[in-house]
Amino acid sequence: MKKIKNFILGLFKALPFGLQGAEREIMGSNNTGDDGTVITQEVSDERVAKHLLKGEVTQEVEELRYRTYKVANESERYQYVGNGVAFKSENDDSPKRSRTKYNVTQENRIICSSILKELQHMDNYGTEEYRVEITYNDIVRFRLEQYAHTINVKIDDTAGIIETTLRFWKTSDKYKTTSRQFLNELEKAVKLDNDYAISRNEILSSIKTISFSTYKASGDDDFVTYAFIDGCKYVGSFETEDEYTLTFAWDSYIRTPLNLEEKYYSKTMDDKYKAVERKNVDLNLTPLEKKYFCPICGKEVDEYSANIQMADGRKPICNDCMKKTLKKN
């Protein structure tokens, strides 16, 4: 009984050292050599996670960033069909920059430009920023980017079509005090049918430029910047049961795709990709044999006895130590 008590006390004394060893295991990586020795590589402050949290750009961070974007671009060449099966697209030879038609749908919502800037707005009313940015010819009562929930882009270079459509819900936003007033003005604007009235209406004639960058949009890649800056002209509206739409035509546009793989190119990681050859890995799917050892004397405990003792919430000990303990009690 005394040995068991000493063993339990020893476990509590060894617990801090075990936690320290676990921390070293997490902070580093273990590699086992051919001779059975274990080599521990301490990465300490060089860990990628720490540098990412600190915002430091090290070689490891550059390699991780480049690898992430390279894998993302490569995945676009494959089509997933289900059940873990994907096929490489055969019609992906022509680059997307050679397209002449675009039909893009991008949701518009308020965005956080930076954490620091948002913290500075605490308890104050700062300037809200939206994904869709609109500039105006003059001071306006209603900024359309605050109310539009989606923007649609229709471009056909061969036909000379450059159009943007802003979409607005008919239901007022209870978090915007001016939402109901804006919808009343919008309802009046969409009913206008002569050029003079349209030219005098603030909502239909005040837009100067529209720009946005795609993110989770349909019809184009992420981080593609669209800018419409010349010749804005209101061409019509459409009303459904749920929303109003305003369509504007433009003389020209600018489309600037952002290739993150090229922007954050890492030569060291690219060299690693070129040097690595494909290897076949044989997986051993047979269950591993479990072995238990008596914490008192170190003898091996058979699996059957060990499972019974662990089911009772006890650590497995050998039969000899069990008999000695029972005799002392």
Separation in Å, CA 1 to CA 8, 154, 179, 300, 306: 11, 83, 77, 20, 19
Please say whether the beta carbons of 244 and 190 come within 8 A: yes
Same domain, 301 and 237: no
Establish if 180 belongs to a structural domain: yes
Query: Rounded mean pLDDT of 150-173?
Result: 95
3-state secondary structure of 170: coil
Same domain, 117 and 256: yes
Establish if 314 belongs to a structural domain: yes
Better pLDDT: 156 or 14: 156
| Cα gap 175→155, rounded to integer Å | 34
Establish if 311 belongs to a structural domain: yes
Same domain, 231 and 302: no
Domain count, the chain: 2
Same domain, 125 and 211: yes
The single-letter code of the amino acid at 101 is K
pLDDT tens digit sequence for 219-261? 998 889 999 999 999 999 999 999 999 999 999 999 998 877 7
Same domain, 299 and 255: no
Query: Domain range holding 292?
Result: 287-329
| Cα gap 137→252, rounded to integer Å | 18
pTM, full prediction = 0.57
- Reported as type and span, the H/E element at residue 54 is helix 48-54
Same domain, 169 and 292: no
Residues forming beta bridges with residue 148, ordered by sequence position: 168
Whether 266 shows a pLDDT value over 90: the answer reads no
- Which residues contact residue 182 at a Cβ distance below 8 angstroms, ignoring those fewer than 6 apart? 142, 147
Same domain, 125 and 246: yes
